Chains A and B, each alone.
Chain A
Amino acid sequence: MLEISNLKAAIDGKEILKGINLKVNPGEVHAIMGPNGSGKSTLANVLAGREEYEVLAGNIMYNGENLLELDPEERAHKGIFLAFQYPVEIPGVSNVYFLRTAFNEIRKANGLEEIDAANFLKLIRSKMELVEMDKTLMNRSVNEGFSGGEKKRNEIFQMAVLEPKLSILDETDSGLDIDALRIVANGVNALRNSNNATVVVTHYQRLLQYIVPDFVHVLYNGQIVKSGGKELALELEEKGYDWLK
């Protein structure tokens, strides 16, 4: 599904990713762990197509296509979803309008008919329950005045509605208390199936107790320095990142 080869990327002229190789198949959950500044968020943002990040070398193939040639919206149309580390507040745009527009744009791009407001509301009801989303948040402006936990839940709720093929969760656990963490993780787990894949970017092992990965990769100084199974996460928790230097 996703194959990253020798990816080098920079922001503001500073090279952050220094040759990443990663292969993700359908049905898999990959965790990317690493200390602050190792390049985790850069990787997530490059995958989503954020223009501030400059790709210096390497390539990313996604279902046989060169991902780097696609605009962010085209990537979304093809099933890529980034759950933001810092979800953006958009005053004046209601959550439900925003999500329906996104939903319909993805459908349009895939040759499907758009869905009207009433049917859309029916469709999202069960997804709201999945992440215990408060109904009143739907008519409020996107993320405006949401608590940290509500913002993160809103990301997973959007993911549930848009049903992406490849989800990238960028530090989704940061700033969550244990209850919110459980809700978010339950949501992610419920959406897992053999056709989609998830990349979980995180600093701590905590989230991985709830979202159990098939593979764990350690990102350090812009490179993946170690890969392994889920037990690698526990080892990191115990020893910290220093032993990898």
Chain B
Amino acid sequence: MNSIEKNTEKYLDAFRTHFNGEAKQAFHATREKAVDTFSRLGFPSTKKEEWRFTNVAEISRKQFSPAGRNSSETVSVSDVEKFMFSDWDGPVLVVVNGYFKEKLSNLDSLSDKVKVESLAKILDNNDKAANKLGQNAIWADEAFTALNTAFTKDGCVITVDANSENSKPVHLMHISTGDAILSSPRTVVNINKNANITIVESFHSLNSKDSFTNIVSEIFVDENAHLKHYKLQDVDTNSFLVGNCAINQNQNSTYQSVAMDFGGKLVRNNISLALNGENISSILNGLYIAQGEQHIDNHTFIDHAQPHCESHELYRGILKDKAKGVFSGKILVRQDAQKTDAKQSNNCLLLSEDARIDTKPQLEIYADDVKCTHGATVGQLDESALFYLRARGVPYKKAMSILTYAFAEEVIDSIKTDAFKNKVEALLLERLEKSLV
């Protein structure tokens, strides 16, 4: 197949015109390799096992134009206000169409132990920090990561100094704006030894139509460091979003991800976690809510390479109308990873007959002294609980709403930052009241 059949030709053309000054950056050689790789791989088809349940033909057929820096200039401070969490007193970093906007950001409360830089600056300076790009997010056989690597110009680089504790949580806000724009932000997070922090990422649309955000995040959690990583995805239901998040953990570290997916037309989240030390604890929780014709796909991969580590996964989905959900959770326990404790569960609530979930747990275990469990359930609301509530006077719709909320609560409860938790609860309640049940 040539690049025209693979729908990659237009990106090759765009690649030639998309860069000006950036072509001088040392990183540009990597971009050139990445665009070649992307052109060779093409968009994944549903014949590929990892993409069996998610058809990206709509993305590949559409004509997106890579976002230039100019496209990010239309967003004002008051636009950003709309997406702030109330009672949030930490720093807010704003990225528009993939470009870090220092002027829209609020860095006043940023601790001096936490450094925020624009990736563009790092690349311009050929800073050694740029060498880390691609270390975690391998693009050799991952088309979307290759596409991001080819087109990324900017994003946020967050570095937390060793031994720094009690820094205020950081809100990293992504906004996409404009029509048929491809945004390619790259986020890099380094949590150094003995440090701990919470980072909340949020994704929003502003006057945008058919936008496509293709984000790659690379996260390093060093020895005895602790990162809580929360995410709220609330983009318009005409948006496409593909996220590849690669996390690398060293010994005695903890990483907790709680990902809320409420929006998007077609969403694919890949989280891949490499546990490269002993006594690591990792938690991946997620809640996805979809209706209409939304499609939300969560793929997680946990690589247990060392002994005495634990990973817990809890994903819950609520699907209505013709919405589709996909959950694929792969856990690899390598031969050295004795005493691994891995738990995975995915529960999905189908609120209509046409909603659909494809769920695929995969355990690949090469060590003999491990504890690994997985479970998946798909179902409707418990009829007897519904009747119990109604028999006490709670009207049908409200009873549905209470039970649906209760189903989601275990995931929301794992959020430990109140301002963010409140935001998520409010969004869920609003959704329940307006359209979900």
Any chain B CB within 8 A of the CB of A84? yes
- Known contacts A71-B396, A92-B409; is-contact A76 B402 (Cβ 8 Å): no
Any chain A CB within 8 A of the CB of B343? no
Residue in contact with A93 in the complex, picked from B387, B393, B402, CB distance below 8 Å: B402
Question: Are B409 and A102 touching (Cβ within 8 A)?
Answer: no
On chain A, the residues within 8 Å of B389 by CB distance are 90, 98, 102
Closest 10 CB pairs of A and B: A92-B406, A76-B393, A102-B392, A72-B390, A88-B388, A106-B393, A105-B393, A92-B409, A73-B390, A102-B393
On chain A, the residues within 8 Å of B398 by CB distance are 101, 105
Residue in contact with B387 in the complex, picked from A50, A92, A142, CB distance below 8 Å: A50
Question: Are B394 and A105 touching (Cβ within 8 A)?
Answer: yes
What are 24 residue pairs bridging A and B, where the CB atoms are less than 8 Å apart in the complex? A71-B390, A71-B396, A72-B391, A73-B390, A73-B395, A73-B399, A76-B391, A76-B392, A77-B393, A84-B388, A88-B385, A88-B387, A90-B403, A92-B409, A93-B403, A99-B392, A101-B394, A102-B392, A105-B394, A105-B398, A109-B393, A141-B406, A158-B392, A162-B393
Any chain A CB within 8 A of the CB of B407? yes
Interface residues in B379-429 by Cβ distance below 8 A to A read 382, 384-385, 387-396, 398-399, 402-403, 405-407, 409-410
Within the complex, what minimum Cβ distance (angstroms) separates B289 from chain A?
A: 16
On chain B, the residues within 8 Å of A88 by CB distance are 382, 384-385, 387-388
Question: Are B391 and A49 touching (Cβ within 8 A)?
Answer: yes
On chain A, the residues within 8 Å of B403 by CB distance are 90, 93
Residue in contact with A48 in the complex, picked from B391, B402, B409, CB distance below 8 Å: B391
Any chain B CB within 8 A of the CB of A87? yes
Question: What size tier do the contact residues of chain A reach?
Answer: 20 to 34
Question: Are A73 and B406 touching (Cβ within 8 A)?
Answer: no
On chain A, the residues within 8 Å of B388 by CB distance are 84, 87-88, 90, 142
On chain A, the residues within 8 Å of B407 by CB distance are 92
On chain A, the residues within 8 Å of B391 by CB distance are 48-50, 72-73, 75-76, 81-82, 84
Q: Could you tell me which A residues sit within 8 Å of B by CB distance?
A: 48-51, 71-73, 75-77, 81-82, 84, 87-93, 98-99, 101-103, 105-106, 109, 141-142, 158, 162
Give Cα distance in the complex from A142 to B384, angstroms: 13
Within the complex, what minimum Cβ distance (angstroms) separates B102 from chain A?
A: 42
For the complex with contacts A75-B391, A91-B406, 4 further pairs of A-B residues with Cβ separation under 8 Å are A77-B393, A92-B405, A93-B406, A101-B398
Within the complex, what minimum Cβ distance (angstroms) separates B240 from chain A?
A: 33
Q: Which of A50, A73, A158, A162 has the most CB of B within 10 A?
A: A73
Give Cα distance in the complex from A165 to B328, angstroms: 52
On chain B, the residues within 8 Å of A101 by CB distance are 394, 398, 402
Give Cα distance in the complex from A87 to B391, angstroms: 11
Q: Could you tell me which B residues sit within 8 Å of A by CB distance?
A: 382, 384-385, 387-396, 398-399, 402-403, 405-407, 409-410
Within the complex, what minimum Cβ distance (angstroms) separates A1 from chain B?
A: 18
Question: Are B395 and A90 touching (Cβ within 8 A)?
Answer: no
Give Cα distance in the complex from A89 to B385, angstroms: 7
On chain B, the residues within 8 Å of A93 by CB distance are 402-403, 406
On chain A, the residues within 8 Å of B382 by CB distance are 88, 90
Name the CB-closest residue of A to B412. Answer: A92
Q: Which of B389, B392, B393, B394 has the most CB of A within 10 A?
A: B393
Give Cα distance in the complex from A82 to B387, angstroms: 11
On chain A, the residues within 8 Å of B402 by CB distance are 93, 98, 101
Name the CB-closest residue of B to A77. Answer: B393
On chain B, the residues within 8 Å of A105 by CB distance are 393-395, 398
Give Cα distance in the complex from A158 to B399, angstroms: 17
Give Cα distance in the complex from A82 to B407, angstroms: 25
Within the complex, what minimum Cβ distance (angstroms) separates B15 from chain A?
A: 49
On chain A, the residues within 8 Å of B406 by CB distance are 90-93, 141
- Known contacts A88-B385, A88-B388, A90-B403; is-contact A73 B410 (Cβ 8 Å): no
Give Cα distance in the complex from A73 to B398, angstroms: 11
On chain B, the residues within 8 Å of A82 by CB distance are 391
Name the CB-closest residue of B to A99. Answer: B392
Name the CB-closest residue of B to A78. Answer: B393
- Known contacts A90-B403, A93-B402, A101-B398; is-contact A73 B393 (Cβ 8 Å): yes
Name the CB-closest residue of B to A76. Answer: B393
Name the CB-closest residue of B to A87. Answer: B388
Give Cα distance in the complex from A109 to B392, angstroms: 12
Give Cα distance in the complex from A103 to B389, angstroms: 11
Question: Are B409 and A73 touching (Cβ within 8 A)?
Answer: no
Question: Are B410 and A92 touching (Cβ within 8 A)?
Answer: yes
On chain B, the residues within 8 Å of A91 by CB distance are 406
Question: Are A98 and B392 touching (Cβ within 8 A)?
Answer: yes
Question: Are A76 and B385 touching (Cβ within 8 A)?
Answer: no
Give Cα distance in the complex from A92 to B404, angstroms: 10
Residue in contact with B392 in the complex, picked from A51, A92, A162, CB distance below 8 Å: A162
